[in-house]
């Protein structure tokens, strides 16, 4: 676990305590990447129907993957204080995880900018998971979206980060 600073600086607040978008204009543009991940737990029957393409709304996984990519591009419109960024890479993968049972959703986002892409990666997996739920809810209402997290990030003043999470596929 990382140590917290003793007196944290709240960069998204101005001197009067009002929310503000951080001024990154003086920061150097560097290559920044972020990888996020979540899991979507469901009944084995639901997972099987999705894998076979037997969901009432069509291709669940392709639609969820595309939704994740589109969501990453819209992050600044969804999260009030995020900067709009020129994203050079957005990869969203959805992998079967029979041990859950369910799917693991992973995103990797990359840019060359003054600020990082953690929120874009997290938004991608979140919206992909929500879309998976929407596409499959006719099969099962109890689908669970779990463990949305940042796995890693590179670039920027704060340096690199690697989560201590080992493997989301194995239920605990």
**Annotated catalytic residue 134:** yes
Catalytic residue among 14, 59, 134, 167: 134
Per-residue tokens: 86: 């020129």
Q: How far apart are alpha carbons 81 and 23 in whole angstroms?
A: 11
* Known binding-site residue numbers for substrate: 81-83, 119-120
Long-range residue pairs from 148-152, CB within 8 A, at least 24 positions apart, any chain: 148/36, 148/37, 148/38, 148/122, 149/36, 149/37, 149/38, 150/34, 150/35, 150/36, 150/118, 150/121, 150/122, 151/35, 151/36, 151/37, 151/106, 152/33, 152/34, 152/35
* Known binding-site residue numbers: 81-83, 119-120
Residues 148, 126: contact at Cβ < 8 Å?
yes
> What residues act catalytically?
134
């Amino acid at each position: 676990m990382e140590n917290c600073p003793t007196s944290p600086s709240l960069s998204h607040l101005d001197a009067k305590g009002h929310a503000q978008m951080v001024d990154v204009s003086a920061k150097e543009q560097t290559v920044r990447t972020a990888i996020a991940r979540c899991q979507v737990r469901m009944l084995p029957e639901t997972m099987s129907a999705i894998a076979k393409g037997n969901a009432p709304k069509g291709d669940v996984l392709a639609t969820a993957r595309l939704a994740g990519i589109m969501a990453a591009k819209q992050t600044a419109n969804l999260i009030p204080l995020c900067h709009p960024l020129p994203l050079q890479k957005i990869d969203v993968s959805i992998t079967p995880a029979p041990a859950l049972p369910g799917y693991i959703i992973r995103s990797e986002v990359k840019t060359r900018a003054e600020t990082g892409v953690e929120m874009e990666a997290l938004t991608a997996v979140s919206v992909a998971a929500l879309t998976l739920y929407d596409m499959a809810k006719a099969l099962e209402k109890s689908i669970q979206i779990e463990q949305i997290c940042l796995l890693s990030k590179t670039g920027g003043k704060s340096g690199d980060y690697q989560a201590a999470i080992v493997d989301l596929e194995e239920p605990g």
